[in-house]
Each structure stands twice: as structure tokens, then as C-alpha cells.
Amino acid sequence: MQNNSQRRDVFYVSDGTAITCETLGHVVLGQFSFTPNEKTFPFVESEEKLNNVLKELHVSYARSGEKPLVFFSIVVPELKTLLLEAPAHCYDVLESVVQKVERDTQLTPVPKMQRSRSVGKDSDSYFDRIAAIEYTLAHDDGITLKGLEKADIILLGVSRSGKTPTSLYMAMQFGLRVVNYPFIEEDIQRLRLLPEFEIHRHKLFGLTIDAERLTEIRESRLAGSDYASTEQCLAELAGVEALFRREAIPYINTSRLSVEEISTRILEKSGLRRRLL
């Protein structure tokens, strides 16, 4: 069995965004004890761009003496062939699934670059995704509470409980318009919802976090401040969780969850549907 301290170079290479490669790679690598040293190369659509990747693979192999792991999604046969000849262990993230669907349906797949899904017949979905990201950025961290009627979901929680990364992930990956609002001290003292939220109760979802974890995160931002003190974190969390319970707002603890897991659990509990390209 490998030691937990061992590191391995891992590359994610795609002719699209590489998000699929990263997602699958993270799931797979989570089963192993080594620490991945990761690099991502999106939009590798030409031999010139692939050559940059190949140089990195050769450097990795020469430096460590071990073939790096490559999770890839490339449909141009010539580029794929060149990649497979590199000193690396290469894993096509779509190949086995595509082959099984082809076998089961008796239909021939027509390969196309992932990026092409953002234009053409799917352009409406693409621009909906962009609009969702713009909306979410405009409503980050309580910047504005205007236009809540357009929100798919409104995330509530204390500062540094994971609202912003979760909001952006849900907008980028699922095309959802997300508002996130951090409870400030005045809100906690009142322990009641803002009037703007009352009419949108069905959209509210809470995020909480362990006090120890919250203190650690805040300390890295403002070390030694009252804002980062254990007492302050405990008081804020107790107040906000009491509000969630009293107002019957569903909520989850984000302490030990990745942003992907947080987002998926929110969708599951809220009943929202993903809007995928």
C-alpha cells in the first residue's frame, strides 16, 4: 500500500472545459492514498496546444521517474493518438461509456468537441448559463436584494460558511440563479428574516458550519480579530441555526463537504433541477 505522503502528477486534458475530466478524476483519485499534484489543460484543440501538454508530461516523467496520470477527453483522432504515445497512464473519461451506449443502442456515435455544445442549437442554454452566472455575481454576499423574484434559490448563513463558492458552482455547473446573503451581527441580534425574504420563503436554504472550522477559516483571513474568535463564531452559529429551525428553513452543515457535495445536497433537499448544457 502506498504512503499517504506520496505524491503523483495528475493531468486533466480536454478539448473543452476539462470540468468532466476533473470531476471524474477527483472521484477516482479519492479512492487512493497518494496526494495528487494536479494541472488542468482545457481547450486543447490543436497540435500546438497538445505539444505544450506533451512537454509537461515528459518533464514530469523525467523528474519523478513515474508516469503521470492523465484523465482526458479529446475527440480528434490525431491528437488523441499523440497523447496516448506520451510517457503517461492515460484514461479516456468517455470512451468506455460511449462504447457501451453504442453497443446497447446499435447506433454509431458522432464525436464532436465538448466546446461545440456551447453554440449552435444549444446557444439558448449557453446564454442562459451566462445570465445565471452574471445574476449570481450581482447578488453575491448581499450586494443587492433586488430582483429576488428571478432567483432559483437564496442561500443564507454566517460569513465564511461556504455561500459564495457554492453559489458560483451552482450557477456555472447547473445554470441556476443564486442569491447568497451573509447574516451580519444586526441580523443575528434581531433573529428574524428580512422583509425581502418573507415572500420568497420557498427559495430559502441555509448553510451552517462547525464552530471550530469557522474559526479556522476566519483566522486565516483576519487573525486575532473578534470576528474570528471562537466565542463570536459560536454565538453567530447558535443564533442563525435557531433562526433556521424556527422559520423551518432547510439547512446543511458544510464542514466536511466539498462544494460539489454541498450543491448536490441542496438540489436534493430543495427539489431544484439541474439545467445542464
More confident: 28 or 238: 238
Among residues 186, 188, 157, 180, the alpha carbon closest in space to that of 252 is found at: 157
- The CATH number that applies at residue 57 is 3.40.50
Report the C-alpha gap between 96 and 76 in whole angstroms: 17
Same domain, 126 and 31: no
Note the pLDDT tens digit of each residue in 26-66: 888 888 888 899 999 998 999 999 999 999 999 999 999 99
Tell whether 132 and 228 lie within a shared domain. yes
Inform me whether the pLDDT recorded for 114 exceeds 70. Answer: no
Q: What is the pLDDT of residue 104?
A: 77
Predicted confidence (pLDDT) at residue 72 exceeds the cutoff of 60? yes
- Domain region containing 58: 7-105
Note whether 237 and 137 are same-domain residues.
Answer: yes
Residues composing the chain: 277
Look at residue 2 and tell me if it is in a domain: no
pLDDT grade for 82, boundaries at 50, 70 and 90: very high
pLDDT digits (tens, 9 = 90+) for 242-256: 999 999 999 999 999
Q: What is the spatial distance between Cα 120 and Cα 123, in angstroms, rounded to a whole number?
A: 5
Torsion angle of C-alpha atoms 217, 222, 227, 232, degrees rounded to 10: 50
Co-location of 18 and 54 in the same domain: yes
CA atoms of 44 and 74, how far apart (whole Å): 8
Nearest alpha-carbon partner for 183 in 220, 142, 224: 142
